[in-house]
Amino acid sequence: VANEIFKNRAQVLAENLERWGAKHVVVANESPDQLEKQFPAFFDRILVDAPCSGEGMFRKEPAGIEYWNEDYPAECANRQRHILTSALKMLKPGGTLVYSTCTFAPEEDEQMAAWLLNNYDLTMVELEKAPGMDAGRPEWADGNPELTKALRLFPHHFKGEGHFIAKFVKNGEEPVLPTKKNKKKKGRGQRSKFAPTKEQQALWQDFQTKVLPNYEAGQLVVFGDYLYDLPVGMPAIDQMSLIRPGLQLGVFKKNRFEPALALALATKPATCTQVVEVDEPAWRTYVHGDTLTIQDAPKNDWYLVECDQHAAGWGKLVNGTLKNFFPKGLRF
């Protein structure tokens, strides 16, 4: 699960995960206090890339200086404590918490790590430090020597910007949560409202059987006209604000299924039975949005476009011409 509270940033997050070929990821647009209700003691690992005063990025983004003031680190620290409180409710005992900022402010760095150690049953983990990386500064917090296990990046010591990272393990044994008895409801269940229709199932299965015969979906869900592969083990999604409920498989259009770029980028060409291999000049033609002429063309159908053993997107072959389905907004 990847979460971002601001919707426009959550959209960017979803797009970045798509470009990386991430498969089993749900992108949420929730506040931490709402997210904790859906995932009690759920995660093995949580990364809190905390909103911070951004002092470490002033060189790269000078505009950040304009909204900084002397009270801003304390304001950010208060917000970070609320986020971390929710994060620890979602972390299983024995799970790992990584906390990071892009600021120099001790209130948000060592003092936040000290607050965690003082208020929760956590063990701090030593982070390996490459040459030029600095240890945390206990004297900037409560003097706890454990804080040296954290990592600081100073731009005058290490190439880059300013960052702080600390790693913790949550102590204790995993509780046995009571099994919730779901009352039977008339009509469709809470998840069935997202289930594909029989016609949609048939369209997907026809594509999957021919093109990706070894693909095993977790749970198929439909948002609007878009088909997604929801990861197994996810709690009920009808109470969450989601940007992407898993891997986007494609979209249903007028009795046909059109595969998504996200599915292509998450697919290894070797696992696909219908592939068109292209060289770099042809790849440039493809990502520009133009059609390709295929010599000795196989049967008309959907094909994964492969260049240098990497998937680039989908094309639909019609009588020797590969119609371009690379998204218009991404063409270059």
Query: How do residues 89-117 score in pLDDT, each as one tens digit?
Result: 999 999 999 999 999 999 999 999 999 99
Which of 238-276 are b and which e, b meaning 16 or more Cβ less than 10 Å from the residue's Cβ?
A: eebebbbbbbbbbebeeeebbbbbbbbbbbebeebebbb
Separation of alpha carbons 124 and 145, rounded Å: 11
The answer to whether 141 and 40 are in contact (CB under 8 A) is no
276, part of any domain: yes
Q: Is 49 annotated as a binding residue?
A: yes
Is there a single domain that holds both residue 146 and residue 199? no
Is there a single domain that holds both residue 69 and residue 115? yes
Q: What is the mean pLDDT of the chain?
A: 93
Q: Domain span at residue 10?
A: 1-27+192-266
Is there a single domain that holds both residue 200 and residue 226? yes
33, part of any domain: no
- Boundary residue ending a domain (140, 170, 200): 170
pLDDT for position 178: 57
Is there a single domain that holds both residue 291 and residue 301? yes
The answer to whether 137 and 152 are in contact (CB under 8 A) is yes
Is there a single domain that holds both residue 142 and residue 45? yes
First and final CA of the chain: distance in angstroms? 31
Please report the DSSP string for 242-282 in residue order: EEEESEEEEEEETTEEEE-HHHHHT--GGG-SSEEE--HHH
Can you tell me the mean pLDDT for 284-304?
95
- Boundary residue ending a domain (240, 266, 292): 266
Pairing of the two strands 43-49 and 151-153: unpaired
Query: Which of the four pLDDT bands, split at 50, 70 and 90, describes residue 126?
Result: very high
CATH of the domain at 46: 3.40.50.150
Domain count, the chain: 3
Query: Which of the four pLDDT bands, split at 50, 70 and 90, describes residue 67?
Result: confident
The answer to whether 167 and 124 are in contact (CB under 8 A) is yes
Report helix, strand or coil for 230: strand
Is there a single domain that holds both residue 103 and residue 60? yes
180, part of any domain: no
Query: How do residues 236-267 score in pLDDT, each as one tens digit?
Result: 888 899 999 999 999 999 999 999 999 999 99
Query: Which of the four pLDDT bands, split at 50, 70 and 90, describes residue 297?
Result: confident
182, part of any domain: no
53, part of any domain: yes
- Active-site position among 52, 76, 102, 307: 102
106, part of any domain: yes
Is there a single domain that holds both residue 54 and residue 109? yes
Is there a single domain that holds both residue 245 and residue 273? no
Residue 307 among the catalytic residues: no
Residue 171 one-letter amino acid: N
Q: Is 4 annotated as a binding residue?
A: yes
Query: Which of the four pLDDT bands, split at 50, 70 and 90, describes residue 190?
Result: very low
pLDDT for position 179: 55
Query: Which of the four pLDDT bands, split at 50, 70 and 90, describes residue 180?
Result: low
CATH of the domain at 283: 2.30.130.60
Is there a single domain that holds both residue 220 and residue 131? no
Is there a single domain that holds both residue 158 and residue 201? no
Can you tell me the mean pLDDT for 212-219?
94
- Boundary residue ending a domain (136, 170, 204): 170
pLDDT for position 177: 54
The answer to which of 62-66, 80-84, 153-157, 224-228 has the lowest mean pLDDT is 62-66
Is there a single domain that holds both residue 165 and residue 78? yes
Is there a single domain that holds both residue 226 and residue 273? no
